[in-house]
């Protein structure tokens, strides 16, 4: 799948902080992504991390116009305890990038680092948008339609209360509507049957809240409806969402393994698979999460896009562009409006 | 994937009741399956349902040796309320088949009918094995190894307590060990991270129970580990298990859709896809749930194999053969032993 490009094209200056030390190939991939993202003439980027390493990653060690480097000595690893960052890792690239957003110097932060650490730092430094019970992470997945399915939450929250799921639904709906450009996207509640009485205790309590929410709620959906594209937005607790997302990410590896095993059976099989490879690649495009770039952390008073540690330069570039879109389309303003509306009709107080 | 055939081949007479009216193509597919299953000379089958329709489905309207028909006028539909069957649908093929097992006339029941109705009828008529907190349904899924992954529970129970998950783990482990022929299969707890402190409230409470259970528990696993085959048995609540199973079942449809769309782009593309179809079919084998036949309902005082409504004759035949294996290998005796052991070391009382 190609990058989703919003239909509304608003042009104004956007300032992005890139945590240049987060990914597995930092800062090389991050710098490559910055160079590509500068094609948008109204983007300014603060690259946060170890100055010497970052400078060395730029061609001719030359920092382009519209790029500045903010030095940060410390690097957060995937093993670091998320809650410790704000207290004791103030010299880290992640903390410094997020602090730039807190003080208003940048509009958005992107990081391919430790997801838990990004979430905790964003929440503690920038706080939540008014009316948001819990920030959430949503992820696009491919579907049998022209547009993708957004699954929200995919791991930011476990043991979610019905009120949290309500807020995920509202935020996911706004995000989908703005980024994909769909008016009143359909929203389904992930469950084990379509009937409203099917599900677990939490989904049964959530169902009536979603009926009253300022969204286009169509009822329960099942695991099979994600790839089918039965609805635009699938709402679930982060426990299920994370399991489904990781299962989905493993499908492409499973298929590659199967094709490889077939190819190994004989030289003739190897030739057939070799001949078919380019077609396979095209047919399976969009199933590799990398092409979607990162996932948004929604509900924060700020814009944060989180990527996989193994993000490629293209994935990181897409993360920067996605952050720019979220800022320009004022997704946060829309979320505030929607949740204020929800609050005024009394559903968000449950 | 081919049918999993247990390595231990015990030969003794097994009597199976086939609910001939359960599936979408009943009783034609059921009768076809019965004819194939009779190849095992020690199998006797009671076909339960409308005598005239069943007789008409046999070649030359002739009932083979080792087959008897038990007439039942009533048919349970997919829409029927599971709990109503035992009370008010005693003339149904499902009730009559299950009642044959309760009274000891048959060793096992297979049905491609309403899953909830099969479960409720089996539990109410035959009861649970001693020590079982909740009966469960497990399902094999393909993996990147020679042997499949068993996911248990896949929808029989939602909001499972830790004790239930403990029992699913023990029953799944026994079933895997007996049917796949693996000594001490590895068992993983489905969660959102490998570390023991990752997960939701229920998985965190379940973890120490599984450490003490009479199984080869290796810790938490994630969504990606199912297809990877990181462990033999993946334990989860039926809410997650059902969502993952239905997602997995939708992958093959999604791929078919993608290949079809590619083929529609030009006659040349159509030719390429046409040429590649037989290879695709072989590579994707085992991803279609039908090939696995049905899923076992474990923990019942009896043997029950449940199939999809759309089960083919081959899937139904595999269900009968699976039921025969479960009886011959005394899976229920092994489950009783394992749970008594668990009880005696105090874990099953939590």
Same domain, A203 and A229: yes
The verdict on A224 touching B (C-beta cutoff 8 Å) is: yes
Residue whose token pair is 């956007």: A14
Question: What angle (nearest 5°) sits at the alpha carbon of residue B21, between those of residues B41 and A225?
Answer: 110
- B-chain residues near A254 (CB < 8 A): 142, 144, 227-228
Asked if B271 reaches chain A (Cβ–Cβ under 8 Å), the answer is no
Segment A124-145, tens digit of pLDDT: 999 999 999 999 999 999 999 9
Q: How far apart are alpha carbons A84 and B160 in whole angstroms?
A: 33
A221/A318 same-domain check: no
- Residues in chain A closer than 8 A to B282 (CB atoms): 262
In the block, residue with structure tokens 């499902």: B94
User: What's the CA gap between A190 and B157, in Å, rounded?
Assistant: 16
Phi, psi of B140 (to 5 degrees): -75, 145
For residue A83, being part of any structural domain is answered with yes
Instruction: Tell if the CB–CB gap between A243 and B243 is shorter than 8 Å.
Output: yes
Can you tell me whether residue B236 is helix, strand or coil?
coil
Chain A and chain B share a number of CB contacts under 8 A equal to 139
Q: What percent of chain A has pLDDT over 70?
A: 93
A121 and A151 both lie in a single domain: no
The SS3 call for residue A165 is helix
Q: Are B210 and B189 in contact (CB under 8 A)?
A: yes
Tokens 């699976």, residue?
A: B322
Model pTM score? 0.93
Report the CATH number that the domain containing residue A210 is assigned in CATH. Answer: 3.40.718.10
Tell me what pLDDT residue B9 has. 58
Q: What tokens does B217 get?
A: 């528990």
- Determine the structural domain holding residue A13 and report its residue range: 1-132+299-329
Residues 6 or more apart from B150 whose CB is under 8 A from it?
Answer: B138, B139, B140, B141, B172, B175, B176, B185, B232, B233, B234
Residue A24 and residue A53 in contact, taking contact as beta carbons nearer than 8 Å: no
Question: Does any domain span residue A347?
Answer: no
Report the distance separating Cα B25 and Cα B5, nearest Å: 27
Chain B residue with the nearest C-alpha to that of A283: B258
Q: What is the pLDDT of residues A275-315, one digit of tens each?
A: 888 888 888 776 766 666 789 999 999 999 999 888 999 99
Query: Residue B194 above 70 pLDDT?
Result: yes
C-alpha dihedral, A77 to A325 to A123 to A347, nearest 10°: -140
pLDDT of residue A283: 80
> pLDDT, tens digit, for every residue of A240-289?
999 999 999 899 889 889 889 989 999 998 988 888 888 888 887 767 66
* A170 shares a domain with A30: no
Instruction: Looking at the structure, tell me whether residues A263 and A304 fall in a common domain.
Output: no
Residue B25 near chain A (CB below 8 Å):
no
Instruction: State yes or no: pLDDT of A350 exceeds 60.
Output: no
Same domain as A242, residue A270: yes
- B101-152: pLDDT as tens digits: 999 999 999 999 999 999 999 999 999 999 999 999 999 999 999 899 999 9
Looking at residue B78, its pLDDT comes to: 87
Q: Are residues A55 and A138 in the same domain?
A: no
pLDDT at B281: 83
In a domain? residue B243: no
CB contact under 8 A, A159 and B201: yes
Taking residue A61's Cβ as centre, other Cβ atoms within 10 Å add up to 10
Closest-CA residue of A relative to B222 is A243
Residue B163 lies in a domain: no
pLDDT on residue B120: 95
**Residue A9 pLDDT grade (very low, low, confident, very high; cuts 50, 70, 90):** low
Candidates A224, A214, A247; CA nearest to A149 is A224
Is A245 an 8 Å CB contact of chain B?
yes
Q: Using a CB-CB distance cutoff of 8 angstroms, which residues of chain A are in contact with residue B257?
A: 144
Interchain contact B42–A (C-beta under 8 A): no
B125 located within any domain: yes
Q: Does one domain contain both A96 and A24?
A: yes
H or E element, residue A105 = none
E-strand ranges in chain B read 14-19, 43-49, 67-71, 108-111, 136-141, 149-152, 186-190, 216-221, 233-235, 295-298, 303-306
> Do residue A103 and residue A138 come from a single domain?
no
pLDDT digits (tens, 9 = 90+) for B290-344: 666 789 999 999 999 999 888 999 999 999 999 999 999 999 999 999 998 777 6
Q: pLDDT confidence of A150, banded at 50, 70, 90?
A: very high
Residue by residue, DSSP assigns A291-308 as GG--EEEESBSSEEEE--
Closest Cβ–Cβ partner in B200, B228, B273 for A159: B200
**pLDDT above 90 (res A1):** no
Q: Indicate the angle between helix axes A267-283 and B238-263, nearest 10 degrees.
A: 100
> What's the pLDDT score for residue A238?
97
> Is residue A113 domain-shared with residue A208, that is, in the same domain?
no
Residue B48 domain-assigned (yes or no) = yes
For the cut 90, the answer to whether the pLDDT of residue B62 exceeds it is yes
Is the CB of A142 less than 8 angstroms away from the CB of B254?
yes
The two tokens of residue A202 are 């939490």
Whether A197 and A261 map to the same domain: the answer is yes
Query: In this predicted model, what pLDDT tens digit does every residue of A97-117 receive, in sequence order?
Result: 999 999 999 999 999 999 999
Does A345 map to a domain? no
B178 assigned to some structural domain: no
Strands B14-19 vs B43-49: parallel, antiparallel or unpaired? parallel
Q: Which residues of A touch B284 (CB under 8 A)?
A: 258
Are A21 and A91 part of one and the same domain?
A: yes
Those residues whose C-beta lies under 8 Å from the C-beta of residue A317, and which sit 6 or more positions away, are A32, A33, A36, A37, A293
Residue pLDDT, tens place only, B17-37: 999 999 999 999 999 999 999
Number of domains in chain B: 1
> Min CA distance, A16 vs chain B (Å)?
30
Q: Which pLDDT does position A349 carry in this prediction?
A: 44
**Mutate which of A158, A159, A287 to test chain B, going by most B C-beta atoms within 10 A?**
A158
In this complex, do B158 and A227 lie within 8 Å of one another by their Cβ atoms? no
Of B247, B272, B273, the CB nearest to A247: B247
d(Cα A175, Cα A138) in Å, to the nearest integer? Answer: 9
Q: What is the mean pLDDT of residues A213-234?
A: 97
Q: Is A272 on the interface with B (CB under 8 A)?
A: yes
């Amino acid at each position: 799948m190609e990058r989703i490009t919003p239909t509304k094209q608003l042009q104004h200056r956007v300032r992005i902080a890139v945590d240049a030390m987060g990914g597995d190939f930092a800062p090389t991939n991050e710098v490559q992504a910055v160079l590509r993202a500068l094609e948008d003439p109204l983007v300014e980027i603060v690259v946060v991390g170890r100055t010497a390493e970052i400078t060395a990653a730029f061609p001719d060690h030359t920092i382009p116009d519209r790029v500045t480097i903010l030095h940060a000595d410390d690097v957060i690893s995937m093993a670091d305890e998320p809650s410790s960052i704000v207290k004791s890792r103030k010299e880290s690239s992640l903390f410094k990038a997020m602090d730039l957003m807190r003080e208003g110097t940048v509009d958005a932060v992107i990081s391919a680092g430790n997801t838990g650490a990004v979430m905790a730092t964003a929440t503690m430094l920038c706080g939540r948008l008014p009316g948001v019970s819990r920030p959430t992470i949503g992820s696009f997945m491919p579907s049998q339609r022209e547009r993708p399915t957004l699954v929200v939450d995919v791991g930011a929250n476990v043991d979610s209360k019905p009120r949290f799921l309500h807020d995920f639904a509202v935020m996911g709906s706004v995000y989908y509507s703005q980024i994909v450009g769909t008016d009143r996207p359909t929203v389904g509640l992930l469950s084990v049957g379509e009937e409203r009485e099917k599900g677990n205790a939490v989904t049964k309590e959530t169902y009536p809240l979603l009926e009253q929410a300022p969204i286009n709620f169509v009822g329960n959906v099942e695991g099979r409806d994600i790839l089918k594209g039965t609805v635009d937005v699938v709402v679930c607790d982060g426990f299920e969402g994370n399991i489904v997302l990781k299962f989905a990410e493993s499908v492409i590896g499973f298929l590659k393994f199967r094709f490889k095993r077939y190819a190994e059976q004989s030289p003739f099989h190897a030739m057939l698979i070799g001949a078919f490879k380019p077609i396979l690649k095209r047919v399976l495009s969009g199933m590799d999460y990398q092409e979607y770039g990162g996932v948004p952390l929604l509900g924060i008073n700020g814009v944060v896009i989180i990527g996989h540690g193994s993000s490629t330069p293209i994935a990181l570039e897409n993360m920067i562009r996605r952050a720019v879109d979220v800022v320009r389309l004022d997704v946060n303003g829309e979320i505030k409006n929607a949740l204020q509306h929800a609050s005024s009709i009394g559903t968000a107080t449950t």
